[in-house]
Amino acid sequence: MRVGHGMRSVSCICRGTVLAAVFSGMVLLSATSARSQDPGTDAAMQAAQQANQMAAQAAQQASQQAMQDAQQASQQAMQAAQQAAANAGATMPPRPPQRPSVPQADKPLFSLRPGKYAAGASVTIHDDDPKAMILYTTDGTAPTMSSKVYAAPVVLGSSVRLRAIALSTTHRPSGVASAKYVVR
């Protein structure tokens, strides 16, 4: 049967998905660094942001395809086992396909508790998995693959609702961490 081969492919696709997202974040970070040194590199920054968005979309599509492939392989394996049992004269009750058991990443943690702070205060975001990529928003919307990649502390200039998720090559995406900061 090809089930084992299919599962290795799904695992490789999932790792590739996260690596593509991490790479696109590094491209964006590189362009951001260049911009701080040379203000005339807006075109490079825009190109990096567009590349980041395209990589995030590709990663999301690859992840969805990998999950569909895994479910299809599981269904095919169950059908083959039922057919083999029927050919042997035994009966096997049908079982629903089960999703692979992959643990969920821990939610990211914020350095400041929600509350009131002076303008200029900064919030660091971290995760227990040092290899995790953190995506965040400051407008209160849930982070997606096209959200900002965390690379430096978030400086509070006005009141914000900070929300973040962690992505890891070995875990499912984390739940959303959220905190509201009011700037006085």
Q: How far apart are CA 113 and CA 179, in angstroms?
A: 7
Report the pLDDT value the prediction gives residue 44, as an integer from 0 to 100: 67
Query: Does position 145 have pLDDT exceeding 60, yes or no?
Result: yes
pTM over 0.85: no
128 and 80 inside one domain: no
The pLDDT tens digits for 34-88 are 444 555 567 767 776 777 777 777 777 777 787 787 788 778 877 877 777 777 7
Report the pLDDT value the prediction gives residue 34, as an integer from 0 to 100: 47
7 and 82 inside one domain: yes
Q: How far apart are CA 111 and CA 181, in angstroms?
A: 12
In a domain, 96, yes or no: no
46 and 122 inside one domain: no
Token pair recorded at residue 116 = 């009131």
Domain that holds residue 116: 109-183
Identify which of 18-27, 47-56, 108-117, 165-174 has the greatest average pLDDT. 108-117
Report the pLDDT value the prediction gives residue 82, as an integer from 0 to 100: 76
The pLDDT tens digits for 72-129 are 877 887 787 777 777 776 555 666 776 668 899 999 999 999 999 999 999 999 998 8
Token pair recorded at residue 136 = 């965040």
In a domain, 92, yes or no: no
73 and 118 inside one domain: no
